[in-house]
Structure 1
Amino acid sequence: MPLTITVTGASGFVGSHLCEALVEAGHTVRAMTRHPDTYDGAGEAVYGDVSDAESLGPALDGADAAYYLVHSLDREDFESADAKAARDFSAAAAKAGVRRIVYLGGLGREDQDLSAHLRSRREVEKLLGGDGVPVTVLRAAIVVGHGGISWEITRQLVDHLPAMVVPYWTSTKTQPIALADAVAYLVGVLEPAEAEGRVFEIGGPDVLTYAQMMQRASQVIKNRPLPMLVVPLLTPRLSSHWLAFVTDVDTETARNLIDSMSNEVVVTDDSIKTVVRRRLLTYDEAVRAAMAERERALADASTD
């Protein structure tokens, strides 16, 4: 049945596509943004900022459910900032009578020494439910789609460099998922009773190393191989400066992402398939879809 839903991060990479999908599914979407005056996406723009606790009540008032899609990777103190935001959001959602929160978190086994980024994601999972609102968690690795930070790093490296000297973390396994599939899963867990309060792992059909992701992307995008030389002494700090130099990702975000790339992030529990059934795009198909959307965005920008 149609619901009223508040989506945080509505103008972001995943949030903008999620808002469109929810509206298409017949729901009333309240697109929470710090800049409602300039919001031009799907749904009704409402002011809200997770770092401003007083703004959350009005943004959540009357909502049946809420999606939590925000994080603070571009800040050095992102762990404390994200924890406070999650606590405030939990309290505001409970006070507003929200019946379900859906959170997009990160993959990674509990028996690993998780990076600060992934530890923060797990802490947010717990804090969002601290005031009693059931939280459904989807844990993902890289979401492949135009505009996603992790995907943009891959695309820009492939686009800018004919060959690469790469650090040891490029041999870590990951399980990327297409943006369309991630959004379908987010929409799919909104209403089923069996999804309430559960943690699901989501990923595409391909398990790849970061090096293989770049090599496959090079074949799809440029139809050529991407020679690589692994240099074990290239530290995360040096790697982050290298990424910031070669791509348009800022150094702080790059550092926080790279810290997580030493953790294997693959699906170990596919129970999501019993709740949401769909054919998942392969990595190559996801790359083609991302590039097609980028071309459309560039074409639209050139006509403005």
Structure 2
Amino acid sequence: MKILVTGASGFIGKKLVQYLLDKNMSVRIMSRRLESLDEFEHKNLEKVKADAQKYEEVRDALKGIDVAYYLIHSMEGKSKDWKKFAEIDKKVAKNFADASTECGVKRIIYVGGLASIPDSEMSKHMSSRKQVGEILKSSEAKTTVFRASVILGKGGGGFEMMRYLVERLPVMVCPKWVLTKLQPIYIDDVVEYLYESLNVKETENRTFDIGGPDILEYREMMKAYGKMNNKSIIMIIIPFLSLRFTSYWVDLVTPIKASLARPLVEGLKNESIMTDKSIMDLIPIKLKGVEESLKLSVYEDDKQEFTKKENYLSYLVMALGIIGILHFLVDQRLMMMLPITGTISLIWLAIIGVGYYFIKKRARLGSLLVGIAGWSAALFWLLDSTYLISYLPQVGSYPVSKGISILGNYPDSSTSILNIVGLCVIAVLLVVAHFTFYDKEIYTKQL
């Protein structure tokens, strides 16, 4: 039996390919970027380069194949582009179905998403995945569709999003989708279903729901993971948080890009519970519960070395915080304007502290917060120091004004020195924060 696995570099694909090779199966994997398949090496393995949007290349990849696993999904991107991605998904599925018919492929096995709600209420993401399954069924190959609930396991987008949110946020402001009921299934159980279905004829030309033994809300799963890591979580649910805001928040706090967070979050808006349990009779495997799945997914040693940029940024933030405190203690003008200046200073220091916390957690939010604190302090200290140029009679042909007196009068010499030192620190900090915030390698390496 010759097997083709598409999406072999993805979360499910990697596990499935290794499982099939361990069973001594003859496997072909395809990708438009062969370098993404470099980790796979086996005497029974064949690699082919093919773009799923090009019919001829898909047809060539399917020649001589008996069973094809379809694990392609392209719904990552901006919400305004989802219609375009949905069309790409349908085009790719149609290419695959038609090419399978032409090449005489006997079976197609597809993993979609499970939404236990009417079609009219499905999210765009889940609706697209269902449409792909229907298109694949148009092939003459006998098609099996597995509709999976949330899949738990190291490297899975849904699990990684959850674990980083739990590990990095002591207090969470959550949208109402955390109340959605799910039936999570462990990745190894999904792979076992995919493999065992090869030998169970009754799975041909059928659609099955697959999930684990436990049904719970998403927030309960988050709390279970937190408890497992000795971490308590305070969750505040705000029902009107938008999808866009949530996805950007995930992007800032976790290594999950906003473009990937959107379909993940949108999918979680739909209840995902098995309504058809017939697969449990046809393939009776021992399913892992949520607690066991989370234990198997925990990273035993998650210590990562900080980059030079992250270390420099940490030191610069500490230096800026110290300068800010000294500024408050030295500048008598601030003391005379309490409690207003005290409150503003505390808020500024709080932003610095929270930014430092997230920098040490390796979240992009840290760079953003210290950038905001840096720019606000730079504006204040720069304006407060403009009086210094008044010692010049003129700049070119322009007379020099006496500067701006922000706090009623000009700063003394000690405060002026702190202003200048602070501006120098901020200048370096803002550059480092900028490059740290946009350094994709720092955040993708965490996945």
The answer as to 2:286 corresponding to 1:279 is: yes
What residue is the counterpart of 1:290 in the other structure? 297
The answer as to 2:164 corresponding to 1:166 is: no
What residue is the counterpart of 1:190 in the other structure? 198
SS in 2 for 1:190: helix
SS in 1 for 2:199: coil
In 2, Cα distance between the equivalents of 1:258 and 1:210? 11
Partner deviation per Cα, 1:31-88 (whole Å, 9 max, x = no partner): 1122224522253222122122221112111110000011012132221110000000
> Equivalent pairs: percent with the same residue?
37
Amino acid at match of 1:185: Y
Which residues of structure 1 form unaligned runs of 5+?
A: none
What residue is the counterpart of 1:259 in the other structure? 266
Structure with the largest fraction of helix: 2
Indicate which of 33, 55, 58 corresponds to 1:53: 55
Amino acid at match of 1:147: G
Q: Which has the larger radius of gyration?
A: 2
Query: Cα offset for 1:297?
Result: 11
Amino acid at match of 2:23: A
Indicate which of 235, 248, 254 corresponds to 1:241: 248
TM-score normalised over the length of structure 1: 0.92
Which residues of structure 2 form unaligned runs of 5+?
A: 306-444
Amino acid at match of 2:69: Y
Query: Cα offset for 1:280?
Result: 0.8
**Which piece of structure 1 moves more, 30-39 or 276-285?**
30-39
What residue is the counterpart of 1:152 in the other structure? 160
Indicate which of 17, 20, 40 corresponds to 1:19: 17
In 2, Cα distance between the equivalents of 1:53 and 1:297? 44
Q: Is the 8 A contact 1:11 1:41 kept in 2?
A: no
In 1, Cα distance between the equivalents of 2:172 and 2:157? 19
Q: 1:46 to 1:298 in 2, by over 3 A?
A: farther
Q: Is the 8 A contact 2:117 2:270 kept in 1?
A: no
Q: Is the 8 A contact 1:188 1:275 kept in 2?
A: no
Partner deviation per Cα, 1:227-278 (whole Å, 9 max, x = no partner): 1111112111211111111112222221222222221011111111122111
Q: Is the 8 A contact 2:125 2:263 kept in 1?
A: yes
**How do residues 10-89 of structure 1 correspond to structure 2 at under 5 angstroms?**
10-37=8-35, 39=37, 40-41=39-40, 43-75=45-77, 76=81, 77-89=84-96
Calculate the aligned-residue CA RMSD, in Å. Answer: 2.0
Q: Please list every run of at least 4 consecutive aligned residues from structure 1 whose deviation after the TM superposition is greater than 4 angstroms.
A: 294-299
SS in 1 for 2:275: coil
In 2, Cα distance between the equivalents of 1:192 and 1:278? 13
Indicate which of 105, 125, 132 corresponds to 2:133: 125
In 2, Cα distance between the equivalents of 1:191 and 1:48? 28
Amino acid at match of 1:217: Y
In 2, Cα distance between the equivalents of 1:38 and 1:74? 18
